[in-house]
Amino acid sequence: MTQRFDILISGASYTGAALALALTEALDGSLSIAVIDKAPAGFRPPESPRAFAIAAASRHLLEYIGVWSAVVSEAQPVSEIEITDSDLDAAVRPVLLTYENALDDNEPASHIVPDSAIAGALRGKLEAANLTFITGTQAHDFDTGPNSASVTCSSGLQLEADLVIAAEGRISRIRDQAGIKTIGWDYGQSGICTLVAHSKPHHGRAVQHFLPAGPFAILPLPGNRSCITWSEKTNEAQRIMALDEAGFLREVATRFTGRLGEITVIANPASWPLNLRLARTYIAPRLALVGDTARGVHPIAGQGLNLGMRDVAALAEIIVENARIGLPPSDPEGLVRYERWRRFDSAVSSAAFDGLNRLFSNDNPVLRSIRDAGLGLIDRLPGAKSLLVKEAAGLSGDVPRLLRGEAL
């Protein structure tokens, strides 16, 4: 038997869950919503050594869907950002750019939040929400007809919806089945993450060391703890990940500098292959893509999830506005508006992160002097720094209402 919904979201991770919760909150039962995910009922995301830089705009969305209150005790406001650019074995790492990470009203432009906290809070909220949560199966086939889109799950379950939203991450079955091509490339790098405890306080300062192999970020967490997010060439990352505890600690310590005192690794490290993947279009009849399914970027600026939350806020705003004037979620003009709103902005951001990675992840002396001059210039221009902070907070451009802290 086929089950029918107004909106079907495939993927219940960060963006799929956030979208489902935002729509449920705003629509108050006026449209039926279903979410599918392959993890079984009662699943709790495993402990993760990763932490996210959550921009102020994304925090506003998490507040609206009631998730921020569940993670705030584990979130560290970032008070200051410091950027260095030097060789791994340089005796000192000169600070090229430093700025206060606060918006005009002193609101922090970003917080660092453990992955496990956000993933767990979203999952808990989703399970309690007024929607249909189909667990333990995944979308397998996707098709569209004149009156609905249909999804067949791996379990054989048949679903129909007015609009299907793919929030399936970078590898998306529904995106492929809809014939939407992607462009992109591998960076030949892996992102390594771990958590460390240190004997001295970080005072909320986030540090980005641009090292020749890639950025090494020290992201502050509550207490004397930080998350390390670090890019290395793939072969070197594999070597580092294969080291024993003492060997791994030595690699971290070499890159860390001694400023935070003695360090201890307190979480098993994990690594992710880094690549760029951009969908050629974000929509098809009765289909919209959000999050990494639309665009997966290099984590150099810690913005992948933040861009996904921008998709969520824009799409939720359009669906809710349309619903209030009697238009269906799949309204073609609404989908075109979504694509226009998000694709250009995403393409610009993706190109910027790609360019940053190319500019900084190398040891070319000419490029180094250009980038160091650029960073030095920004450091001396107070106006440039506040623009940078607003951009990183996700509050520049055409900002969807949920990201400005307004209700739908």
What phi and psi, each to the nearest 5 degrees, are found at residue 44? -120, 130
Q: Could you say which of 6, 8, 11, 215 contacts ligand FAD (CB under 6 A)?
A: 11
Q: Could you say which of 66, 124, 136, 169 contacts ligand FAD (CB under 6 A)?
A: 169
From the list 221, 203, 169, the residue with the least C-alpha distance to 49 is 221
Q: Could you say which of 13, 116, 208, 346 contacts ligand FAD (CB under 6 A)?
A: 13
Contact 267, 194 (CB under 8 A): yes
Q: How far is the CB of 373 from ligand FAD (least distance, A)?
A: 27
Q: Could you say which of 60, 93, 111, 173 contacts ligand FAD (CB under 6 A)?
A: 173
Contact 126, 16 (CB under 8 A): no
- Is residue 308 part of the contact set for ligand FAD (CB under 6 A)? yes
Using CB under 6 A, count the residues that bind ligand FAD: 32
Contact 94, 210 (CB under 8 A): no
- Is residue 304 part of the contact set for ligand FAD (CB under 6 A)? yes
- Is residue 214 part of the contact set for ligand FAD (CB under 6 A)? no
Nearer to ligand FAD, 347 or 377 (CB): 347
| Residues β-bridged to residue 8 | 34, 164
DSSP secondary structure code for residue 216 in this structure: E
- How far is 206 from 221, CA to CA, in rounded Å? 10
From the list 32, 40, 1, 46, the residue with the least C-alpha distance to 137 is 40
Q: Which stretch binds ligand FAD (CB under 6 A): 64-72, 97-105, 296-304, 383-391?
A: 296-304
How far is C-alpha 242 from the geometric centre of its chain's CA atoms? 27
| Residues β-bridged to residue 232 | 190
Q: Which stretch binds ligand FAD (CB under 6 A): 49-57, 71-79, 141-149, 258-266?
A: 49-57
- Is residue 37 part of the contact set for ligand FAD (CB under 6 A)? yes
Q: Which of residues 315-354 bind ligand FAD (CB under 6 A)?
A: none
* Neighbouring residues of 147: CB distance < 8 A, sequence distance ≥ 6: none
- Count the residues in the chain: 408
Q: Which stretch binds ligand FAD (CB under 6 A): 80-88, 161-169, 340-348, 399-407?
A: 161-169
- Is residue 48 part of the contact set for ligand FAD (CB under 6 A)? no
Q: Could you say which of 36, 71, 288, 402 contacts ligand FAD (CB under 6 A)?
A: 36
| E strand or H helix that includes residue 319 | helix 304-324
Q: Could you say which of 6, 7, 8, 16 contacts ligand FAD (CB under 6 A)?
A: 16
Q: Could you say which of 150, 229, 357, 361 contacts ligand FAD (CB under 6 A)?
A: 229
Task: State how far the alpha carbon of 182 is from the alpha carbons of 293, 310, 362, in Å.
Answer: 9, 20, 27
Residues forming contacts to ligand FAD in the complex (CB under 6 A) are: 10-16, 36-38, 50, 52-53, 138-139, 167-169, 173, 191, 193, 229, 272, 291-292, 299, 302-306, 308
